[in-house]
Amino acid sequence: MNTPMPRGWIAQVQGHGFDLAYWEQSLRPPFDPVCERIPHGDSTVWGLRSSAFDQLQSAEEVRAQAIMMIARLNGALRAQCGAEPLTLQGVARIDDSGNFHFSVFSEARARARSMVTGTSAAHDADGNLVPPPLPEPSQAQKWIQVAEQNDGIGDMLIFAGRSEDWFDIYKALELAQSLAGGRPGRKLHALLGGDGDEFERMWRTANMHRHARCKDPPTIPMTLAEAMSLLPFVIRSLLTHLVP
């Protein structure tokens, strides 16, 4: 059965094919937001749709809303499945006849990527196929809905989504600790269980890079690559705790 052509505003996103596929898998209807391939002539457009766009009147309004949403989704999808950031290419209005009216704001970004996916059918003790569970929002969709009401979560996702230097890593960790209950009780350290010590080393390393003179540097500072690898786990663990 053919999927009906959407109407209204879409934000056209661009990035590596693997990362676009991650977004498509994680942002599915009927939940909000949605990322999907939309037919356009002989090709397709990668479109991000959201109810947040519905009442907007101009391409500039949609662009401003989409930039914020994409920044938060970059953090959410990096935490959920390790996706690299996407960027906004432009916005389009699809009219009632299915015609596209584009306003392009292109930002080029590309990186070599590898992707691992897998699906399997579930069986009961007698070998019978178990029906799939009822659809529900993905983690990323749940997190984005909460981020729209909680600026701390929203800002943390933005910093986490673009965390390619120590400044953004520090800001993401600072917000994460605040959301977990602050530094004095080391609640985030406890929440991470056996990885708490590595989190502490990452925090102290980030703090070392933030100050010209650090009073408490780690014995063995964490590398930037190690921190970029660990941060999504920290964000995912915290959000799984905050957003059941």
More confident residue, 108 or 163: 163
Residues with Cβ within 8 Å of 166's Cβ and at least 6 positions away in sequence, in order, are 205, 206, 209, 210, 224, 227
CATH domain 8-104 topology: Palm domain of DNA polymerase (3.90.1600)
User: In percent, how much of the chain has pLDDT > 90?
Assistant: 64
Angle between helix axes 59-81 and 224-242 (nearest 10 degrees) is 100
End-to-end CA distance of the chain: 34
Q: For residue 113, what pLDDT is reported? A: 47
Distance CA 186, CA 60 (A): 43
Q: For residue 126, what pLDDT is reported? A: 63
Is the pLDDT at 108 greater than 80? The verdict is no
Q: For residue 81, what pLDDT is reported? A: 92
Kindly state the average pLDDT of the residues 94-111.
73
Is the pLDDT at 216 greater than 80? The verdict is no
Decide: residue 184, CB within 10 A, 0-12 exposed, 13-18 middle, 19+ buried.
exposed
Q: For residue 6, what pLDDT is reported? A: 80
- What are the pLDDT digits (tens) for 137-156? 999 999 999 999 999 999 99
Instruction: Work out the mean pLDDT of the chain and round it to a whole number.
Output: 86
Distance CA 74, CA 164 (A): 13
Kindly state the average pLDDT of the residues 128-139.
72
Q: What is the residue extent of each domain of the chain?
A: 8-104, 163-242
Neighbours of 52 (CB within 10 A): 17
Written as six digits, the tokens of 23 are: 């977004």
Distance CA 12, CA 68 (A): 14
Q: Half-sphere exposure (CA, 13 Å, Cβ side) for 21?
A: 9
pTM across the whole model = 0.83
- What are the pLDDT digits (tens) for 12-53? 999 999 999 999 999 999 999 999 999 888 888 999 999 999
Among 115, 110, 103, 94, which residue's Cα sits nearest to residue 14?
A: 110
